[in-house]
Chains A and B, each alone.
Chain A
């Protein structure tokens, strides 16, 4: 535990970086997934392309995705951020599309019939009703991101993965365990928080 006590601040910084990486990637992914999902939900061709592409992208293992993106994006925080966002985007996109498609036709019909504009219908009826599905997607996306962000240390993304990877390199057991424990705790804490939100 000596190493831990001496390096509390750098451990804290790694944790902060990890959270930042996950949060920023999530925002970026949501900024793409939400409008794209809304568009795809009412256009069958775009929908098929988006859902198919999402399924493929989501099945690509983290390390493979990073390896394929490094020649394009280079190394560092920004590259890791983009790679992570492109990893979370498909999850959120699917959640938005399935959520919007789950809105009962009678409810849409009533909204149109009462004179809501398409925009009012989207914001007042469809998105609120898609919320449970979107929250479920968010939960999967966060779990995916916390995990993938660990590997992102390998392409210079920083975060808790740095402790694990340098620990593995140096044969520094304490460092490995601190990194692994913290990242597991982060994953569980985020998952628990989002599960609570889903119930509320």
Chain B
């Protein structure tokens, strides 16, 4: 659990973060969004005290982070940045082993753990352990970055635009995989992104910032349905209603028992894709593979 209370940080040039209250419950992922320069990265770096707050309190898994030695604090928090920030002079295995080495783990335990986390992020240890960072693709580097953050099994992870440098074709799969992994491991995650789709996809909650202040903090469906003001609505985009439909699946809404003709969709299909199929076929009801049918009224009622 991450709890920020009244956190304030002023930069000499202005901006920064002002009186920010934000909490991320244990095992959840909070996606921090907002326009460039609004203070997302600053907020993230306040949590592991790479930036020291001027005022406020920070609690991580119940403990006062500001009372701890910052170096020790950081060893207990996973940190992933854009491009991974891998050490170019160390092989993949040694990169993943950085924090275990700092914590004084013995060689056997470290080695076993390196293999374990590489496998977790979908990289074959035998194949990747002895490679150099420059021999990896952008996506692979990012996976190694995540593995490195997970190595000492920290309860909390901070991710700053972790998928920003991954090519768009691979990004979606990497996002899904990492999200599923962090959920499975019940990590508490603060994720910075400027991409609304990514935030909606990965966040249990969205925290939207503007000029150093938190404007709205809510579940994605809630924020998309009821933006707090025009700024939030604009930031979420004119297609926010469609984005929101992407959060629900056919199985989430009531169905008609009677079937209709046409090619059936599986009930795991998102309402967004289902609506798209209706528009494409020019119909107001679609058959569902698992039985029954989905009507346009049911899609609209999900608002």
Contacts and interface: CB of A to CB of B under 8 A. Distances in A.
A55 interface: no
Interface string B256-293: 00000000000000000000000000000000000000
A125 B148 CA distance: 16
Question: Chain A contact residues: over half helix, strand or loop, or mixed?
Answer: helix
A59 interface: no
A115 B73 contact: yes
A106 B41 CA distance: 13
Given A107-B87, A107-B88, A114 B98 contact: yes
Interface in B11-54: 48, 50
Interface class of chain B by DSSP: mixed
Interface stretch (B2-10, B74-82, B115-123): B74-82
A106 B81 contact: yes
Interface string A104-132: 10110111111111001000010011000
Contact of A109 (B50, B72, B73, B148): B50
Contacts of A128: 89
Interface of B: 48, 50, 71-77, 79, 81-89, 98-99, 102, 148, 158
Contacts, number: 58
Contact of B82 (A106, A115, A120, A125): A106
A110 B99 contact: no
Given A113-B79, A114-B102, A107 B85 contact: yes
A120 to B, nearest CB: 7
17 contacts: A104-B85, A106-B83, A107-B85, A111-B87, A113-B74, A113-B81, A113-B85, A114-B98, A114-B102, A115-B71, A115-B72, A115-B75, A115-B76, A115-B102, A116-B71, A125-B87, A129-B87
Contacts of A120: 102
B50 A112 contact: yes
A contact residues, range: 10 to 19
A17 to B, nearest CB: 38
A157 to B, nearest CB: 38
Given A113-B158, A117-B71, 7 more contacts: A106-B82, A107-B85, A109-B85, A113-B77, A115-B74, A115-B102, A128-B89
A117 to B, nearest CB: 5
B138 to A, nearest CB: 13
Top 10 nearest A-B pairs by Cβ distance?
A110-B85, A115-B74, A113-B79, A115-B75, A106-B85, A128-B89, A115-B71, A114-B99, A106-B83, A117-B71
